[in-house]
Amino acid sequence: MDSPAVEVTDLVQRYGRTTAVDGATFSLPRGQVLALLGPNGAGKTTTVEICEGYRRPDAGTVRVLGLDPVADHDDLTPRIGVMLQSGGVYPGARAAEALSLVASFAARPLDTAMLTERLGLGGVARTPYRRLSGGEKQRLSLAMALVGRPELVFLDEPTAGMDPQARRATWDLVSELRADGVSVLLTTHFLDEAEHLADHVVILDSGRVVAAGSPAELTAAGADEQLRFTATPGLPLGELLHALPEGLVASEPRQGEYLIGGRMTPEVLAGVTAWCATHGALVGDLRIGRRTLEDVFLDLTGRELRP
């Protein structure tokens, strides 16, 4: 039980001339949630599919529950649950049938009726897979990953195509899995999803790990807190800094929008509002905030849209 749920070391995978994964290293401790976060084409799915044993990496090692996902494939499959990014179900099979089939492969499966209700699939239990909506297909696929009571689940973009309610329900489910001791490796390009669910976030870009850590570590690292406010344009900022504690910076990035950077204390806030009052400037939209995971992500992976 001491080996991590997933341990990826210096993983490299090439497809012809393109390098899909370029030296990725990360580890998922048992019973925790790790999110692989990155833009399309970052190598998330390739990484997960190597962990699932679908392909042998060109270089590096992958251990899943202490086993080799390719060589020990048959020992591993009963212990993991897999949700592919899309498809994977007979188009003509009814939702309940598809779930029962996977349940029959497990020694002690979950009650399929309970799981069907839990994932809001009760109303479509007899509907063929091909006629389910995108979100219903995702939920069925999630149910199929969980029904065998696995130790570790791989969820490749679990909430893609879900409406906001289903997405929230899926988040609750992942949190419950974690509380029950299931290890979860998921991929997502939703920042709020990673921030909300994961103990560990690994940000991939062009196959490389560009940042890794807990959401709190990632958002705190290298990023001072900021105070933003609006007021009359052209206030004398040098004079403002004299009125505030040492070690702060001030700027006016757009006319009438001010930014104070540095360590935020109640004195800073009181100082800013008092100084503005002496200049007859009415302060609006005042906000003290930390960098969000979105800021971190965009700083690291660039702000241009990718093809």
Binding-site ranges for another protein (CB under 8 A): 52-54, 74, 77-80, 82, 84, 86-93, 97, 100-102, 104-110, 114, 144, 146, 148-151, 172, 175-182, 199, 214-216
Residue closer to another protein (CB basis): 53 or 271: 53
Q: Which residues contact 72 (CB under 8 A, 6 or more apart)?
A: none
Q: Which residues contact 261 (CB under 8 A, 6 or more apart)?
A: 224, 225, 226, 227, 248, 249, 250, 251
DSSP assignments along 235-298, one per residue: --HHHHHHTS-SS-EEEEEETTEEEEES---HHHHHHHHHHHHHTTPPPEEEEEEPPPHHHHHH
Nearest distance, CB of residue 134 and another protein, angstroms:
15
From CA 121, how far away is CA 18, in angstroms rounded? 40
Residue closer to another protein (CB basis): 149 or 228: 149
| β-pairing verdict for 257-261 and 249-254 | antiparallel
Nearest distance, CB of residue 234 and another protein, angstroms:
42
Nearest distance, CB of residue 77 and another protein, angstroms:
5
Nearest distance, CB of residue 87 and another protein, angstroms:
4
Residue closer to another protein (CB basis): 179 or 282: 179
Per the structure block, which two tokens stand in for 130? 């091909």
Nearest distance, CB of residue 81 and another protein, angstroms:
9
Residue closer to another protein (CB basis): 92 or 289: 92
Nearest distance, CB of residue 225 and another protein, angstroms:
19
Q: Which residues contact 291 (CB under 8 A, 6 or more apart)?
A: 219, 220, 223
Residue closer to another protein (CB basis): 107 or 305: 107
Torsion, CA 98, CA 102, CA 104, CA 110, rounded to 10? -100
Q: What is the DSSP letter of 109?
A: P
Residue closer to another protein (CB basis): 2 or 180: 180
Residue closer to another protein (CB basis): 212 or 248: 212
CB 48 within 8 A of CB 154: yes
Nearest distance, CB of residue 97 and another protein, angstroms:
7
